[in-house]
Amino acid sequence: MQPFSEERTREAMSELNDIARALVAPGKGILAADESDSTIKKRFDSINIESTEDNRRAYRDLLFTTPGAEDYISGVILFDETIRQSALDGTPFPKLLESKGIVPGIKVDTGAKPLAGAEGETVTEGLDGLRERLEEYHGLGARFAKWRAVITIGKQIPSEYAIWVNAHALARYAALSQEAGLVPIVEPEVLMDGDHTIERSFEATSRTLQAVLAVLVAQRVRLEAMLLKPNMVLSGYACREQATHEEVADWTLRALRRHVPAAVPGIAFLSGGQSDDDADANLDTLNRAGAQPWQLSFSYGRALQAAALKTWSGDPAHVLSAQRAFAERAAATGAARRGALAEHRHPVPAA
């Protein structure tokens, strides 16, 4: 592979910047439908259906062919199996999405594995052979990529060791993605699991963002040509005192403003196991907190899909009602993205 010339680099990065900005366009955000085999099995277990290739294809077909979803969904993150599958009429999924003006993306990490010498902590794998895989995914139509690092809060953790090895891998992935013509979505997720307070989540999130941004710059990743996908700063699931939406927005913005340069075009939050209503209410509050240097958008998996998955429950007779549930949730999340959730829920009747 030829190294890029300076001019070619500038041109390529400007194309990536256009894609990044399209992904966080006003009122729009990303659907994460990139559940790995083990994760989709868990989701299907919850509705008592078997995780066969056919069922997985049918479920993704339902989501991607939902009429009107493209009004709120700018991009979809696919899994390796899904990017090779087709809709019922034979159109490959990436082509189908493109035809609706939705940018196809691809999960490229191979999962979080136990980190040697660090009990309870993980490092995300997938760097071996990544350059070749990225080239293949680009050929299959992907224009952005995702890599998720997982940071856990617990007794004495996260360690600096776990934070920095994960930051290093995220930056290696991001640099390779930009080289391959894909916008990297850089996802350092500080988990909600545990009984920690929101202050501890703020501290762990701040340390993580500081490391991730430092290593991205050190590894020559162009900040204009990437998106950040962080967690919101939240109380742990089991924390007795749950923070309000205003507190979540306040702590989240404080961490982001301290550590994320304005050159990054957008922040696409993950939902991370919040209920769909909480994820939307928090995104709405964040977008009502005044002007920020970056777009504040979403890249939700569970929050966008929960209602559709349950309504579908594997029954072909429920496809249309499941699509309605997905479209309704996408519209609500799109409204939250504009800070207009209240108006969406209670539209003023025409005079």
Active site residues: 187, 229
Smallest separation (angstroms) from ligand 13P to the CB of 178: 20
Q: Is 202 in the site for ligand 13P (CB under 6 A)?
A: no
Evaluate whether 301 touches 32 at the Cβ level (below 8 Å): yes
166 vs 299, beta carbon nearer ligand 13P: 299
| 104 part of the interface to ligand 13P, by CB under 6 A | no
- Binding residue for ligand 13P, selected from 142, 169, 303, 322, defined by CB under 6 A: 303
Q: Which of residues 136-155 bind ligand 13P (CB under 6 A)?
A: 148
Instruction: Please say which residue, 9 or 51, places its beta carbon nearer to ligand 13P.
Output: 51
Q: Do 286 and 255 touch, CB atoms closer than 8 A? A: no
Q: Find the distance separating the first CA and the last CA of the chain, reported in whole Å.
A: 63
Chain center to CA of 220: 22
Please, what is the minimum distance in Å from the beta carbon of residue 145 to ligand 13P? 12
- With both helix axes pointing from N to C terminus, report the angle between 319-337 and 53-64 in degrees, rounded to the nearest 10: 50
* 174 Cβ neighbours under 8 A, 6+ residues apart: 147, 184, 186, 216, 219, 221, 226
Nearer to ligand 13P, 154 or 273 (CB): 273
Judge contact between 133 and 108, C-beta under 8 A.
yes
Return the DSSP state at 148. E
Q: By CB under 6 A, is residue 60 in contact with ligand 13P?
A: no
* Cβ closest to ligand 13P, residue 8 vs residue 42: 42
Interface residue with ligand 13P, options 144, 147, 251, 300 (CB under 6 A): 300
Please list the alpha-helical segments (H only) found in 159-197. Answer: 160-179
Is residue 299 a contact partner of residue 73, using CB atoms and an 8 Å limit? no
Residue at shortest CB range from ligand 13P? 301
**Nearest distance from C-beta of residue 235 to ligand 13P, angstroms:** 16
**CA neighbours closer than 13 Å in the CB half-sphere of residue 110:** 7
Per-residue x/- mask for ligand 13P, residues 258 to 297, rule CB under 6 A? ------------xxx-------------------------
| Footprint (CB under 6 A) of ligand 13P, residues 17-36 | 32
Of 301, 325, 329, 335, the residue at the interface with ligand 13P (CB under 6 A) is 301
SS3 of residue 110 by DSSP? coil
332 binds ligand 13P per the rule CB under 6 A: no
Quote the strand ranges of the chain, DSSP E: 29-32, 73-78, 103-107, 112-114, 122-124, 144-151, 183-190, 227-228, 266-269, 295-300
Give min distance, CB of 3 to ligand 13P, in A: 31
When asked if residue 56 is in the footprint of ligand 13P (CB under 6 A), the reply is no
Closest distance of CB 294 from ligand 13P, Å:
18
User: Within 10 Å of residue 103's Cβ, how many Cβ atoms?
Assistant: 22
Question: How many Cβ atoms from other residues are within 10 Å of residue 82's Cβ?
Answer: 24
Neighbours of 311 (CB within 10 A): 19
Residue 43 or 133: the one with the smaller Cβ distance to ligand 13P is 43
Q: Give me the least distance between CB of 129 and ligand 13P, in Å please.
A: 21
Q: How far is CA 121 from the centre of its chain?
A: 21
To ligand 13P, the closest distance from the beta carbon of 301 in angstroms equals 3
Per-residue x/- mask for ligand 13P, residues 172 to 191, rule CB under 6 A?
Answer: ---------------x----
Per CB under 6 A, residues contacting ligand 13P are: 32, 148, 187, 270-272, 299-303
